[in-house]
């Protein structure tokens, strides 16, 4: 099976009482491999939702009865080419239910020997958003829907995904070929989930925890639980490898210490907690900074001056050249439901981009965010890729320019959003959607122009730093 996977993501979840403004927030950087995977921003209208579905990668056909009647409108951030399927990534539907899928996670040979991942058929990251988001009326609906699909069709990969409505957040992880677990995130908590199986403490038959019906019996029958008391799903179904210690755990460690400086510990620690509580309310800017982080102020920062060359390559950062799309899905509780859903979106490496807070009660998206598969500087995806690759040549010089650009862009977007929120209370229906679409366009245009300005400033600063130069005054 040819798996064109985006395998390198980092998920952040923030409960409504842990966020700065009382929103539920689910976020993820969608990363890929060595090849560039262009992503776009779109709205899927109900009449465009497929009535018949077959996966491109696995060729799995979905029964028509499972493509429910009356699908909802929803946003998505799929691959631009569509050659490998949809890969919808993340979005918010017209009922203000958000979904991000998926976080590629780890497993172990014990569960693979009992319920192997499929080698033929099954559903995966390519399919989950398309088959789930248009049919959800609550976050809990997302858990039930995906659980049903996993049990019926199976999967060829291990994945984590999150669902949110205005009240709650649920995080689900697939187990082997057909099993799954899910946990409700406490309202006052946050979660960082890198590419490992993340759910630890688990209580069967308790509020806030769900799984397939036979999972507890499977654990007991096959003697899978290594702990004398309770159930820790990471110990039972996950991994604890050298790769985890270098690739996954350090990302969680860095986020924990950002939100809780007293956390301490070591980057490779295998038992870092799933449910955490920050020492302050978490803002959108906090999440963007975390998703852009590269171990600043530690010896492990590739751009820093503290560590040795070997230390700078020791751990995989969150912000990386393979960030292709990053989203922060926000369901707000301090505004009317008709414009409460906001999909913050950025393309390209997070070290040199800015988030844009797009309203999701719309029928179209700005043209600059409708990415073309091939290089095109009219599209923000490609402009951000160019800025990041130029900025990477001398982060000490260009990094401050990026900071100024991002601060300016976020401030302008916040201002447009505040003004639009005030006006939008007076609109409804199609008139409201036109108002929100106009605001989205204004924010997209502003950030595009700011990115062009950033590139110009980088060219000005870099002119005198070129190696290929000869000055009579040198």
Tell me which residues are annotated as active site: 9
- The closest alpha carbon to 329, from 27, 17, 14, belongs to 27
Report in angstroms the alpha-carbon separations of 93 from 44, 74, 150, 246. Answer: 9, 4, 22, 37
Instruction: Report the C-alpha gap between 298 and 254 in whole angstroms.
Output: 10
Q: At what angle do helices 284-291 and 395-424 cross, to 10 degrees?
A: 150
Residues 451 and 398 sit within 8 Å (Cβ to Cβ): no
C-alpha triplet 193, 32, 5: angle, nearest 5°: 90
3-state helix, strand, coil in the chain (%, to 5): 35, 20, 45
Per the structure block, which two tokens stand in for 199?
Answer: 């759910």
What radius of gyration do the chain's Cα atoms show?
22
Per the structure block, which two tokens stand in for 349?
Answer: 């490496």
End-to-end distance of the chain based on CA atoms, in angstroms? 59
Instruction: Report the C-alpha gap between 228 and 240 in whole angstroms.
Output: 18
Residue 440: half-sphere exposure toward Cβ, Cα within 13 Å: 28
Per the structure block, which two tokens stand in for 359?
Answer: 């309203």
**Cα 21 from chain centroid?**
20
Per the structure block, which two tokens stand in for 87?
Answer: 């890969």
């Amino acid at each position: 099976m040819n798996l064109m996977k985006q395998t390198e993501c980092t998920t952040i979840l923030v409960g409504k009482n842990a966020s700065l403004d009382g929103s539920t927030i689910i976020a993820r950087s969608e990363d890929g491999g060595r090849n560039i995977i262009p992503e776009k921003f779109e709205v899927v209208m109900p009449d465009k939702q497929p009535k018949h579905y077959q996966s491109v990668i696995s060729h799995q056909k979905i029964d028509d009865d499972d493509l429910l009647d009356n699908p909802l409108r929803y946003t998505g951030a799929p691959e631009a080419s569509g050659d490998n399927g949809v890969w919808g990534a993340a979005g918010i539907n017209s009922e203000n239910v958000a979904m991000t899928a998926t976080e590629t996670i780890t497993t172990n040979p014990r569960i693979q020997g009992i319920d192997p991942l499929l080698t033929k058929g099954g559903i995966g990251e390519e399919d989950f958003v398309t088959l789930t988001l248009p049919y959800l009326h609550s976050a809990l609906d997302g858990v039930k829907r995906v659980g049903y699909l996993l049990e019926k069709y199976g999967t060829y990969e291990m994945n984590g995904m999150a669902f949110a409505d205005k009240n709650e957040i649920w995080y689900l992880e697939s187990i082997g070929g057909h099993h799954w677990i899910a946990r409700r995130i406490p309202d006052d908590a946050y979660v960082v989930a890198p590419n490992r199986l993340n759910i630890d403490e688990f209580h069967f038959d308790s509020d806030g925890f769900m799984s397939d019906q036979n999972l507890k019996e499977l654990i007991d029958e096959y003697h899978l639980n290594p702990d004398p008391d309770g159930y820790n799903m990471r110990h039972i179904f996950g991994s604890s490898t050298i790769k985890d210690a270098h690739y996954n755990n350090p990302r969680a460690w860095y986020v924990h210490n950002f939100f809780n400086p007293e956390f301490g510990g070591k980057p490779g620690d295998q038992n870092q907690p799933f449910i955490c509580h920050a020492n302050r309310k978490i803002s959108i800017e906090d999440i963007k900074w975390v998703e852009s982080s590269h171990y600043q102020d530690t010896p492990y920062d590739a751009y820093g001056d503290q560590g040795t060359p070997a230390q700078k390559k020791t751990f995989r950062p969150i912000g990386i050249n393979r960030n292709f799309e990053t989203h922060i899905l926000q369901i707000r509780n301090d505004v009317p439901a008709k414009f409460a859903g906001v999909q913050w979106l950025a393309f390209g490496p997070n070290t040199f981009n800015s988030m844009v807070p797009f309203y999701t009660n719309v029928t179209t998206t700005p043209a600059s965010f409708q990415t073309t598969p091939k290089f095109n500087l009219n599209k923000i995806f490609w402009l951000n890729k160019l800025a990041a690759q130029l900025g990477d040549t001398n982060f000490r010089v260009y990094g401050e320019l990026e900071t100024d650009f991002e601060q300016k862009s976020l401030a302008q977007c916040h201002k447009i959003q505040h003004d639009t929120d005030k006006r939008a209370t007076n609109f409804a229906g199609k008139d409201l959607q036109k108002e929100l679409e106009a605001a989205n366009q204004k924010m997209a245009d502003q950030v595009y122009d700011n990115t062009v300005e950033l590139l110009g400033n980088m060219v000005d600063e870099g002119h005198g730093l070129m190696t290929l130069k000869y000055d009579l005054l040198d």
